[in-house]
Amino acid sequence: MRFGFHISIAGGFSKVVERAHARGCETIQFFSRNPRGWNYSPLNKKEMEQFRSSIRSSALFPIFLHMPYLPNIAAAKSKFYKRSVRSIATDLQRAEQLGAQYLIIHIGHRMESSEDQAIETVSQGINQAFEKVENGVMLLMENTAGQGTEVGYTFDQIKKIIEGVHDHQRMGVCLDTAHTFEAGYDLSDKNGIDRTLEKFDQTIGLKRLHLLHLNDSKTPLGSRKDRHWHIGEGCIGLEGFRYLVNHPSLSHLPGIMETPRKDTVEDLKNMKVIRSLTA
């Protein structure tokens, strides 16, 4: 398994590879713009070319772009729905321009909509974004913890969303271990992990799984509360992660950590722990 972190773009894309190397990354995830705002500047051509060159000269692979937090394509009546669809289309373009093979999206909140309505709305939003941008970037839906009115916390919901997307070949899944556990799928021991992966394979298909977000959970199984924690220090625990990263169905996948951090020290600690668990 190739390990990495979400890397900050503060100060510009030129700092990304350096920060990744300082953390011992083999793969990375990053934002292309402010994750907590709608406004953004077009990518600078020179900076974009320099970034792509620095990625090519590094050993970092694969490269994942993550959508900002504000877009929500699960609530059709939201005044931000059309803007959210355009935002996905924009980052599909930016992912290609920056040399990222994948774009990760949060599925969203249904608000006052029913679950079925929200699922259909998500599929329609993705269809609209795909119609706007036709490229080779794969869109990965990140499963949720089911907090509040979030959709996408069960494998069945994710399956239904994919079924409603016209271009299935452009769709994949990013499985967040904390969210999975918090949604009620036990990842703390061998039996729980085997059952969860069997359920995932039967419902969605392991061939659609392209990335793991390796995060421990600060809250217990089925809490429906999204709280990431340091590897081995939460409710999933060291043995859960040991089995996960060595599992024959998962060991070929990249694993990105989104564990809490104040500076590089926490990242180095989590990288040391996760690597110590590999066989």
The confidence score (pLDDT) of residue 279 equals: 83
Judged against a pLDDT cut of 90, whether residue 255 lies above it is answered with yes
Average pLDDT of the segment spanning 214-230: 98
So what's the pLDDT on residue 99?
A: 96
Confirm whether 66 is a catalytic residue.
Answer: yes
Average pLDDT over residues 108-112: 94
Tokens of 95: 């992912």
Q: What's the rounded Cα separation, in Å, for the pair 132 and 125?
A: 11
For residue 20, what are the contacts with CB-CB under 8 A and spacing of at least 6?
4, 5, 7, 28, 58, 60
Could you report the per-residue pLDDT of 76-91, keeping only the tens digit for each? 999 999 999 999 999 9
Q: Is the pLDDT of residue 3 over 90?
A: yes
Percent of the chain residues topping a pLDDT of 90: 99
- Give pLDDT, residue 231: 98
Mean pLDDT, rounded, for 108-128: 97
- Given the residues 47, 49, 56, 69, select the one marked as catalytic: 69
Q: What's residue 232's pLDDT?
A: 98
The overall average pLDDT reported for the chain is 97
Residue 102 sits at φ, ψ, to 5 deg, of: -135, 150
Going from N- to C-terminal start, the domains of the chain cover 2-276
Catalytic residue, candidates 23, 106, 109, 210: 106
213 is catalytic: yes
The residue annotated as part of the active site, out of 91, 142, 150, 216, is: 142
Q: Which CATH superfamily is domain 2-276 in?
A: Divalent-metal-dependent TIM barrel enzymes (3.20.20.150)
Q: Where does residue 120 fall: left (phi above 0), alpha (psi -120 to 50 degrees), or beta otherwise?
A: alpha
User: Could you confirm whether 109 is annotated as catalytic?
Assistant: no
**What average pLDDT score do residues 20-37 get?**
96
CA distances from 257 to 20, 218, 247 (A): 12, 15, 17
Average pLDDT value for residue range 157-185: 98
- Specify whether 228 is catalytic: yes
Do 274 and 242 form a contact (C-beta atoms < 8 A)?
no
66, 170, 208, 210: the active-site residue: 66
Give catalytic status of residue 83 as yes or no: no
Report the alpha-carbon distance of residue 146 to residue 184 in Å, rounded: 9
pLDDT (mean) for 271-278: 98
Mean pLDDT computed over 54-75? 96
CA 117 to chain centre: 23
